[in-house]
Amino acid sequence: MSDPKAPVAHPTLPGFIEMGHVDVDAGSIWIGDGCYVLKDADEKRPTDLGEDWHGICERFFGRSGYRHQQIEWSRWSGARERDLFDSPEWKAWVEKWGLRHPDTHKSDTICYAEKHEAMQRHYERYSAEHPFQPTSVDTGFAQFNHDLGHAGMGVMVSTFYGDGTYPVYVEYGEGGRPRRVLIDFDPGAENELVRGSPADIFRVLSSHYPELASGDRNIAPMCRKISDIGFPDLSAEAA
Torsion angles phi and psi, residue 43, rounded to 5? -95, 150
DSSP string, 64-128: HSHHHHHHHHHHHHHHHHHHHHHSHHHHHHHHHTTTT-GGG---HHHHHHHHHHHHHHHHHHHHH
Name the stretches of the chain with pLDDT < 50.
Answer: 1-2, 100-102, 104, 107, 109, 209-239
Q: What is the pLDDT of residue 51?
A: 84
Using one digit for the tens of pLDDT, what is the confidence trace for 70-97?
A: 899 899 999 998 998 888 878 877 777 6
Residues forming beta bridges with residue 154, ordered by sequence position: 144
| Pure H helices in the chain | 53-64, 66-86, 88-96, 108-129, 198-207, 209-212, 226-229
Q: What is the pLDDT of residue 111?
A: 60
177-211: buried (b, 16+ CB within 10 Å) or exposed (e) per residue? eeeeebbbbeeeeeeeebbbeeeebbebbbeebbe
Q: What is the pLDDT of residue 153?
A: 94
Q: What is the pLDDT of residue 196?
A: 62
Residues forming beta bridges with residue 180, ordered by sequence position: 171
Q: Is the pTM higher than 0.85?
A: no
Q: What is the pLDDT of residue 18?
A: 93
